[in-house]
Chain A
Amino acid sequence: AQKVTQAQTEISVVEKEDVTLDCVYETRDTTYYLFWYKQPPSGELVFLIRRNSFDEQNEISGRYSWNFQKSTSSFNFTITASQVVDSAVYFCALSEIAGGGADGLTFGKGTHLIIQP
């Protein structure tokens, strides 16, 4: 069975600080996808990134960066120079590849990020 653990329930930082959100996953599959979604107070789920298990390269997109380490089954997300608009709940998620598009995502419990001005 798949499992995604986001141990940080809530993180509060002051604006402009860097913050890292942790994600640890468990799966018996050798091929899988990892995702991060943002859920702002308005409630919608906003896709941030997808990474497949073949590609361990870190990725940077503006102030966002992701560190995928297969050896520790982690897919951590860092926001550099945080802004108040980054305040949201962030979910890490996992899905198989073998099942094709039929597989649902397994989500972690989310980390509530609060950026204080």
Chain B
Amino acid sequence: EPEVTQTPSHQVTQMGQEVILRCVPISNHLYFYWYRQILGQKVEFLVSFYNNEISEKSEIFDDQFSVERPDGSNFTLKIRSTKLEDSAMYFCASSEWDSINHNEQFFGPGTRLTVL
């Protein structure tokens, strides 16, 4: 069964450093998403991406964040200068959005980011 994959599973970085989180969405999906879950809290939407551009973004997704689809398979989230409060689990998701599978988002296993 196809699945969303994410690498690395755990990333540790120093405050102020740039990090890139990687995702490989399901191959025939057209919509891609990033979510964040601070430990013990709810999952929060960051951004959605379609047709090589950002479709929607939340207030959390400020200038420190960017997303990119550098090739036909990867989808990345970059945090330019990490802060302590960026420590969280980051989930990538993808969906195909058709008349049957409306917005059924499949989530990857997550990348745990720890900022020291």
| Chain A positions near chain B (C-beta within 8 angstroms) | 33, 37, 43-45, 47, 50, 52, 91, 93, 95, 97, 99-110
What chain B residues lie within 8 Å of A102 (beta carbons)? 31, 48, 50, 55-56
Nearest Cβ distance between residue A38 and chain B, in whole angstroms?
A: 11
A-B contact number at CB 8 A: 71
- Which B residue sits closest to A4, measured CB to CB? B42
Other-chain contact of A43, B41, B89, B97, B106 (Cβ < 8 Å): B89
Nearest CB in chain B to that of A44: its residue: B109
Q: Which of B31, B43, B45, B112 contacts A45 (CB 8 A)?
A: B43
Number of B interface residues in the complex (CB < 8 A): 31
A33 to B104, CA, bound (A): 10
Q: Which residues of chain B have C-beta atoms less than 8 A from A110's C-beta?
A: 42
Name the contact of B102 in the complex, choosing from A47, A50, A93, A107 (C-beta under 8 A).
Answer: A50
A47 and B105 CA atoms in complex are apart in Å by 8
Task: Take A50-B104, A95-B103 as given contacts and tell me if A101 and B43 are in contact as well, using a CB distance cutoff of 8 Å.
Answer: no
- Which residues from B are CB-within-8-Å of A45? 43, 91, 107, 110
Asked if B75 CB lies within 8 Å of chain A CBs, one says: no
Cα separation A7 to B48 with both chains bound (whole Å): 28
